[in-house]
A and B are shown apart, each in its own frame.
Chain A
Amino acid sequence: MILEIINASLLAATPILLAALGGLYTYHLNVFNIALEGMMLLGAFLGVLGSYLSGTWVIGLIFGALGALGAGAVFAFFAVYLKTDEFVTGIAINMLSLGGSTYALRQMFHVKGAFIHPDIQSLPLWNLPFFGKLPWLSFAALGLTALVWIHLYRTPFGLRLRAAGEDARAADSAGLNTARLKIRALLLSGALCGLSGVFLSLGYVTLFAENMSNGRGWIALAVIILVRGNPLNALLMALFFGFFDGLGLSLQKVNIPSQFTQMLPYLAALAALYFYSRTKRKTL
């Protein structure tokens, strides 16, 4: 029973964790990146597209990651080069990938709502002791968390990133190229969100549905803010949301309307925000 819960939590936590890892880069650079949701959705769509066209999940993974990286590049072009407001750029990217994927769903596959096809190959499952059977990207995400931590806190790049986030002008006058750092951080966050999307469409399920990210990108954003940018705590927080997501699924067997159990992760986010604000008040 407990192992089942761990399994379900990790499964639901993976997309949130991956997107949150992506968002960490921009968080530390003080870029208001609210495009996580959109990049994730784009990754999910392109993952299915690549897997469908080639018949292998490898191409799907590459498509998804590169496509979302492209969205990060568009973000960087507008926000860094044209100096468009980050909030506005993020909203526009979200709408662009929501509209774009919905449009492409009809234009390429001639379906509305969802695309399911036997040619779509999903991510291979690994069966590890304790965790149980999961798509391999779930385990990779755990490893990535450690890598991102090292990248942010133990490499020159991470130091520069955090310094530029702390005070961009000071960093600039110390000879760092803040604009280039921003572009890199946005590309990294795009690629990671792309992986998160691929996990959704090729791991969690094997299909693409309109707006299938369904707020997970926003939850990832909440995770980042709540853990103040620490990757290891982000892992715990993602598991916390994953737990409520999984809990919703198991509670459906009990006689509670499924709509209320589906609310749980979002209400959990509100609760987490409440506790976060309380501790923040104390420290101030």
Chain B
Amino acid sequence: MLEGKRGGYGTAKRLPLIGGKLSYAVRKRIFLNIRKLLPALLGLPAAFAAGFIILAAQGYDAPLSFTSLFHYSVFSRFAFFGTLARSVPLILTGLSAAAAFSSGCVNLGQPGQLILGALAAAALGLAVDLPALLMIPLLLLAAMAAGGLWAFIAGWFRHRFAMDEFISTLMLNFAADYFALYLISGPLLDRDMFSPMTKAIHSGGFLPLPGGFPTAVAVVLLVFCLVWIFFHRTKTGYELKIMGTSRLFARTGGCRTDADFLTVIIISGALAGLAGGLLIMGGQQHRFLKGLGANYAWDGVMIAIVADNGLTAVLLYGLFFAMLQTGSMGMEMETAVPSEFVLVFQAIIVLFAAASRKSFGVIMNWITVRRKAGKTARGEAHDT
């Protein structure tokens, strides 16, 4: 729904340079993937330049700030594992947003769905005490179910009452927020603590950290593969892709759009819920702290936008955003730039990536038109 027109400009036949021996379909796919990544990559240098100027204008040591941003996020094992752990909720909420957006479903409820998932994992993790082999899958499923259910409410509103999911998911975010606050400062409150939080869940629900490696990453990779297969290799996934282009066309073409819509919003919610569950089960705290979801609230939506709803691109940009966020602490240590700068920088990246994608499309269109005009002028036949 976001970028309605795809494949508008000069399509694959004119790109024999890439993978000459491969079949046309494969070449086309590679080309389309590159075209999806490239514009955003062009926007990145512009965003970096803008960030650089902002820092330099305030009298900070901009070069050192940016190098420490990377130095403290990838250049040691400890830092790299930190980045990986940070990327878990980012990638999952990003996938959640991308899955919904690319199917024409405006689910902006990732924050609420994440909170519900985390609450489910925390509450169940407190209530039951099982061996890890049973408990981990149980909590993961519970988190997904809770997130999916929260999203389903909005989906059902849409299905039953034609209520716009765009507003209802947003409003449910606030409801989830206050609901969580109620639970952790009331029924689930750990009375030994000074600020609202639950007790730590039973240790069976802890995800192992062998040598500091966050195993939540493995869960993310598994889920990523499943989502990829779902969208690229199943009938429903295909129908959803059509729905993302045109809902009317999908319906007239025989897709069960109502059922598909509910499916995708539940999947989207389950992904965000899983992100919340992994926040509880991975990491160090293993409890629901006040403000848990706030840090990741809109990151998923931003990542999906920068990635143009591409699943693989979400994976990459999720890692990239995680890198920025992890490195920001190091940056603050080195050059005293408040780590909140990364919030500004992320928004700049979103804006520039989106703008450059659009301009890139305009330029590509222009080139195609020029070339066609040239051919016509030389009296060559149009290729169809």
Which residue numbers of A lie inside 8 Å of B, CB to CB? Answer: 78, 82-85, 87-89, 91-96, 98-100, 102-103, 105-107, 214-215, 218, 221-222, 225, 257, 259-260, 262-263, 266-267, 269-270, 273-274, 277-278, 280-281
- Residue B141 interfacial (CB < 8 Å): no
On whether the beta carbons of A267 and B171 are closer than 8 Å, the reply is: yes
Interface set, chain B 131-190, CB cutoff 8 A to A: 157, 161-164, 167-168, 170-175, 178-179, 181-182, 185-186
On whether the beta carbons of A270 and B350 are closer than 8 Å, the reply is: no
Q: A84-B354, A277-B162 are in contact. Are A96 and B348 (CB under 8 A)?
A: yes
Which of A88, A99, A221, A267 lies in contact with B354, CB distance below 8 A? A88
Task: Kindly list chain A residues whose C-beta atoms are within 8 Å of the C-beta of B171.
Answer: 215, 218, 222, 266-267, 269-270, 273
- Residue B301 interfacial (CB < 8 Å): yes
Q: A88-B351, A266-B174 are in contact. List 14 more A-B contacts (CB 8 A).
A: A84-B355, A85-B3, A85-B354, A87-B2, A95-B343, A99-B346, A100-B343, A107-B340, A257-B182, A259-B178, A263-B178, A273-B163, A280-B162, A281-B162
Interface residues of B, count at CB 8 A: 43
Task: Kindly list chain A residues whose C-beta atoms are within 8 Å of the C-beta of B351.
Answer: 78, 84, 88-89, 92-93, 96
On whether the beta carbons of B355 and A95 are closer than 8 Å, the reply is: no
> Does more than half of chain B's interface fall in helix, strand or loop, or is it mixed?
helix
Among A85, A87, A88, A269, chain B packs the most CB atoms within 10 A around the CB of: A88
On whether the beta carbons of A278 and B161 are closer than 8 Å, the reply is: yes
23 contacts between A and B (CB under 8 A): A78-B351, A85-B354, A88-B351, A92-B347, A96-B347, A99-B340, A102-B343, A103-B338, A103-B343, A107-B338, A215-B173, A222-B171, A225-B164, A257-B182, A259-B178, A260-B182, A263-B174, A266-B172, A266-B175, A267-B171, A273-B163, A273-B171, A280-B162
Shortest distance from the beta carbon of B162 to any chain A beta carbon, whole Å: 5
Task: Kindly list chain B residues whose C-beta atoms are within 8 Å of the C-beta of A262.
Answer: 178
Write the chain B residue with the least CB distance to A267: B175
On whether the beta carbons of A95 and B302 are closer than 8 Å, the reply is: yes
Task: Kindly list chain A residues whose C-beta atoms are within 8 Å of the C-beta of B350.
Answer: 88, 91-92, 95
Shortest distance from the beta carbon of A5 to any chain B beta carbon, whole Å: 22
Among A87, A94, A222, A269, chain B packs the most CB atoms within 10 A around the CB of: A87
Task: Kindly list chain A residues whose C-beta atoms are within 8 Å of the C-beta of B344.
Answer: 96, 99-100, 103
- Residue B341 interfacial (CB < 8 Å): yes
Which of B167, B168, B185, B358 lies in contact with A83, CB distance below 8 A? B358
On whether the beta carbons of A84 and B178 are closer than 8 Å, the reply is: no
Interface string of B333-347 (1 = CB under 8 A from A): 000001011111111
Q: A92-B351, A95-B302 are in contact. Are A273 and B58 (CB under 8 A)?
A: no
Q: A85-B3, A92-B351 are in contact. Are A270 and B168 (CB under 8 A)?
A: yes
Shortest distance from the beta carbon of B173 to any chain A beta carbon, whole Å: 8
Write the chain B residue with the least CB distance to A281: B162
Interface set, chain B 311-357, CB cutoff 8 A to A: 338, 340-348, 350-351, 354-355
Task: Kindly list chain A residues whose C-beta atoms are within 8 Å of the C-beta of B347.
Answer: 92-93, 95-96, 98-100
Which of B163, B168, B343 lies in contact with A98, CB distance below 8 A? B343
Interface string of B278-309 (1 = CB under 8 A from A): 00000000000000000000100110010000
Q: A82-B355, A102-B340 are in contact. Are A215 and B174 (CB under 8 A)?
A: yes
On whether the beta carbons of B186 and A257 are closer than 8 Å, the reply is: yes
Shortest distance from the beta carbon of B301 to any chain A beta carbon, whole Å: 6
Interface set, chain B 1-40, CB cutoff 8 A to A: 2-3
A125 to B160, CA, bound (A): 46
On whether the beta carbons of B167 and A269 are closer than 8 Å, the reply is: yes
Shortest distance from the beta carbon of A68 to any chain B beta carbon, whole Å: 16
Shortest distance from the beta carbon of B151 to any chain A beta carbon, whole Å: 14
Among A262, A263, A281, chain B packs the most CB atoms within 10 A around the CB of: A263
Q: A102-B340, A263-B175 are in contact. Are A78 and B355 (CB under 8 A)?
A: yes
Which of A95, A102, A257 lies in contact with B298, CB distance below 8 A? A95
- Residue B246 interfacial (CB < 8 Å): no
Write the chain B residue with the least CB distance to A37: B170
Task: Kindly list chain B residues whose C-beta atoms are within 8 Å of the C-beta of A225.
Answer: 164, 167
On whether the beta carbons of B174 and A273 are closer than 8 Å, the reply is: no
On whether the beta carbons of A91 and B298 are closer than 8 Å, the reply is: yes
On whether the beta carbons of B167 and A215 are closer than 8 Å, the reply is: no
A222 to B348, CA, bound (A): 27
Task: Kindly list chain A residues whose C-beta atoms are within 8 Å of the C-beta of B3.
Answer: 85
- Residue B359 interfacial (CB < 8 Å): yes
A161 to B188, CA, bound (A): 53
Which of B161, B173, B338 lies in contact with A106, CB distance below 8 A? B338
Write the chain A residue with the least CB distance to B181: A259
On whether the beta carbons of B164 and A88 are closer than 8 Å, the reply is: no
Which of B2, B168, B172, B343 lies in contact with A99, CB distance below 8 A? B343
- Residue B218 interfacial (CB < 8 Å): no
On whether the beta carbons of B340 and A88 are closer than 8 Å, the reply is: no
Shortest distance from the beta carbon of A187 to any chain B beta carbon, whole Å: 18
